[in-house]
Amino acid sequence: MTNLLFSALAPGAVAGIAIATLIVGALLTFVGFFVYIKSAKNKINNAKEEASRIVEDAKIEAKTIRSDGVFAAREQMDKMRAEFEKETKERKQDWQRTENRLAQKEAAIDKKEELLDKKDASLDKKLEDIEKSQKQIEETKTRLSGIEEELSGAQQKMQAELERVAGMTKEEAQGELKAALLEDVKKNAVADAKKLIADAKENSVKEAQNIISQAIQRCAADYATENTVSVVALPNDEMKGRIIGRMGRNIRALESATGVDLIIDDTPDVITLSSFDPVRREVARLTLEKLITDGRIHPARIEEMVDKVRREVEAGIKEAGEDAALEVGVHNLHPEIIKTLGRLKYRTSYGQNVLKHSIEVAKVAAIMASELGIDPRIAKRAGLLHDIGKAVDHELEGTHIQLGVDIAKKYRENSEVIHAIAAHHNDIEPQTIDAVLVQAADAISSARPGARRESLESYVKRIEKLEDIAKSFDGVEQTFAVQAGREIRVMVKPEKVNDAATVFLAKEIAEKLENELEYPGQIKVNVIREVRSVMIAK
């Protein structure tokens, strides 16, 4: 197509166009070259300006770095200079202190040297004085030796003269003098002992009596004498036959179920129940009373009623133990201990109800502990439990003290309570105040008039032994037990026992009674010496 276009145009036109094209290309080339040169010059100028600026910035930065380095170097130098000066100053101060100490030590040494010089001088003077004293002592010894020899000779002469005048040897005179001195010392000792005893009695006995009397007054209790038998009243004598039953089957069933002997004799309208176990006896008594009231008496009914009454008695035993603990104010007792304690309600000792006795002992011991200013809780608890072994002593072997200790240990009672239980009858020596108080409260409760019954035979034996012990001492003429054994009056022979010896005799009799005789309360020992001079006027 292009070729056709160029062939259509004239040759001259084509040449003109070509020339114009060349001129336009040349112009464009020149303009481009000029623009390029201008641009290059601008770039060169910008580069130069940038280089100048960088150089200036570098110079400024170099100046800044230089000034910073100079400042840091100056600061470092100032710091090093300050440290050097400080160190130098401290060393100078150390040297100054060292010099001061050395100066003080030198001054002290000088003073010590002066003191040593003075001491040396003083020692020299003392040595001189000692030498002089030794010489004087030697001279005195010499003079004393001479004086002793003279005295010895004079004493021998005097002794010989005294023996000649008195008609006694030296040993005889010494014996007589010793006897006189011993008699004088005894008289003085007796007077002092009487005064001490009187003072002790005036204070301690008065105070003890006051405490005990207050305890007894604040804790009065009633006692009922109980035997080993119980009596059941019958509405009529025909009831005896019903209780015996056909061929004795009812009475055998009742005895077998309760473990109690029924005594049916000619006594009208009564049946006697006999058993060493008070709980069994109580079960039998209540069963029999209920059967009489109910009217239905046969073996099956008897067994049924015995079981029912036994449960009621067991509940009553537990309630009695709880009531006793509540009345005394003892808490946190083991349930089994409370049950065992309640069994004492049906236990007696010499006619005295043991549960009431235990309650009273607890109260009296607590009152005495409070009066003495100590915590009454241990004394109260130990007093309540001191006879708990008596609840099981008919079932187990051993004394009631051993059984009580075993029960208390089994149920983890306080060690002080266990000790008081073990010591309340002097099986072991009491080691605590609470144990002593329980022991005293037990004696007070047992010895109170009417608390216990005492058989005539044992009472007579105790009175006879009391008089025999007092008669066993040399110089005793007669003895009389008075006030139901609370006092022993001892009549002595005046030619064998003097006034001074009566005090010692009373003390020895009291000690022997304490060691050999068991008695409630206290026994007053009254030694009486009577001198009678009888003459007949004619």
- pLDDT single digits (tens) 141-153: 787 777 777 777 7
* CATH code for the domain in which residue 391 is found: 1.10.3210
pLDDT surpasses 60 at 47: yes
Say which range, 74-88, 224-238, 458-472, 494-508, has the weakest mean pLDDT: 224-238
pLDDT surpasses 70 at 448: no
pLDDT of residue 418: 92
Whether 84 and 202 share a structural domain: no
pLDDT of residue 141: 77
pLDDT of residue 2: 47
Strand partners, 349: 352
Is 403 in contact with 389 (CB distance < 8 Å)?
yes
As a whole number of angstroms, the distance between CA 112 and CA 87 comes to 37
pLDDT of residue 348: 75
Determine the average pLDDT of the residues in 25-29.
Answer: 79
Using CB atoms within 10 Å of the CB of residue 507, give its burial: 0 to 12 exposed, 13 to 18 middle, 19+ buried. Answer: middle
Q: For the stretch 121-139, what's the b/e string if a residue is b when 16 or more beta carbons lie within 10 angstroms of its beta carbon?
A: eeeeeeeeeeeeeeeeeee
pLDDT surpasses 80 at 533: no
pLDDT tens by residue, 288-317 = 888 888 888 888 888 888 899 888 888 888
Whether 279 and 357 share a structural domain: yes
pLDDT band at 4 (very low <50, low <70, confident <90, very high): very low
Whether 36 and 17 share a structural domain: yes
Among 120, 140, 164, residue at a domain's last position: 164
Whether 176 and 156 share a structural domain: no
pLDDT surpasses 80 at 12: no
As a whole number of angstroms, the distance between CA 278 and CA 103 comes to 104
pLDDT of residue 284: 87
pLDDT surpasses 70 at 165: no
pLDDT of residue 457: 64
Query: What percent of the chain clears pLDDT 90, i.e. is strictly above it?
Result: 7
* CATH code for the domain in which residue 500 is found: 3.30.300.20
Within-domain flag for 537: no
Whether 233 and 356 share a structural domain: yes
Strand partners, 488: 481, 525
Using CB atoms within 10 Å of the CB of residue 527, give its burial: 0 to 12 exposed, 13 to 18 middle, 19+ buried. Answer: buried
Q: Which two tokens stand for residue 69?
A: 């380095």
pLDDT of residue 421: 92
Whether 371 and 514 share a structural domain: no
pLDDT tens by residue, 394-445 = 778 888 889 999 999 999 998 999 999 999 888 888 899 999 999 888 887 7
Query: What percent of the chain clears pLDDT 70, i.e. is strictly above it?
Result: 83
Give the angle 172-178-181 at the CA atoms, nearest 5°.
Answer: 145
pLDDT of residue 256: 87
Q: Which two tokens stand for residue 440?
A: 């005293």
pLDDT of residue 394: 75
As a whole number of angstroms, the distance between CA 211 and CA 372 comes to 9
pLDDT surpasses 80 at 349: no
pLDDT of residue 205: 59
Please state whether 521 falls in left (phi above 0), alpha (psi between -120 and 50) or beta.
left
pLDDT of residue 406: 92
E strands, 46-193, in order: none
Say which range, 26-30, 110-114, 204-208, has the weakest mean pLDDT: 204-208
Say which range, 247-256, 441-450, 476-485, 488-497, has the weakest mean pLDDT: 441-450
pTM of the model: 0.46
Q: Which two tokens stand for residue 178?
A: 């010793």
Please name the residue that has the structure tokens 């109170």. 448
Whether 390 and 342 share a structural domain: yes
pLDDT of residue 170: 64
pLDDT surpasses 50 at 211: yes
Among 395, 423, 447, residue at a domain's last position: 447
pLDDT of residue 8: 47
How many C-beta atoms surround the C-beta of residue 519 within 10 A? Answer: 15
Within-domain flag for 534: no
Whether 432 and 519 share a structural domain: no
As a whole number of angstroms, the distance between CA 495 and CA 110 comes to 88
Q: What are phi and psi of 169, to 5 degrees?
A: -80, 175
DSSP output for 409-429: HHTT--HHHHHHHHHTTSSS-
As a whole number of angstroms, the distance between CA 175 and CA 419 comes to 54
Task: Convert 322-369 into a string of H (helix), E (strand) and C (coil).
Answer: HHHHHHHCCCCCCHHHHHHHHHHHHCEECCEEHHHHHHHHHHHHHHHH
Domain that holds residue 184: 168-217
pLDDT of residue 416: 92
pLDDT tens by residue, 56-101 = 888 888 788 777 777 888 888 888 888 888 888 888 888 888 888 8
Out of 128-137, 270-279, 324-333, 515-524, the most confident range is 324-333
pLDDT of residue 381: 92
104, 119, 309 from 108: Cα distances, Å:
6, 16, 105
| Mean pLDDT, the chain, integer | 80
Domain count, the chain: 4
Whether 381 and 472 share a structural domain: no
Determine the average pLDDT of the residues in 334-340.
Answer: 90
pLDDT of residue 204: 63
Q: Is the dihedral of CA 96, 100, 106, 109 positive or negative?
A: negative
As a whole number of angstroms, the distance between CA 316 and CA 301 comes to 22
pLDDT surpasses 50 at 224: no
Say which range, 5-19, 102-116, 131-145, has the weakest mean pLDDT: 5-19
Radius of gyration of the chain (CA): 62
Whether 102 and 208 share a structural domain: no
pLDDT tens by residue, 463-481 = 888 889 989 998 899 998 8
pLDDT surpasses 50 at 163: yes
Determine the average pLDDT of the residues in 36-47.
Answer: 81
Among candidates 316, 360, 371, 307, which has minimal Cα distance to 338? 316
Starting at the edge strand found earlier in the chain, the sheet holding 524-529 runs 476-482, 487-492, 524-529
Whether 249 and 344 share a structural domain: yes
Whether 416 and 299 share a structural domain: yes
As a whole number of angstroms, the distance between CA 318 and CA 234 comes to 30
pLDDT of residue 273: 84
Please name the residue that has the structure tokens 């003495």. 372
Within-domain flag for 177: yes
pLDDT surpasses 80 at 190: no
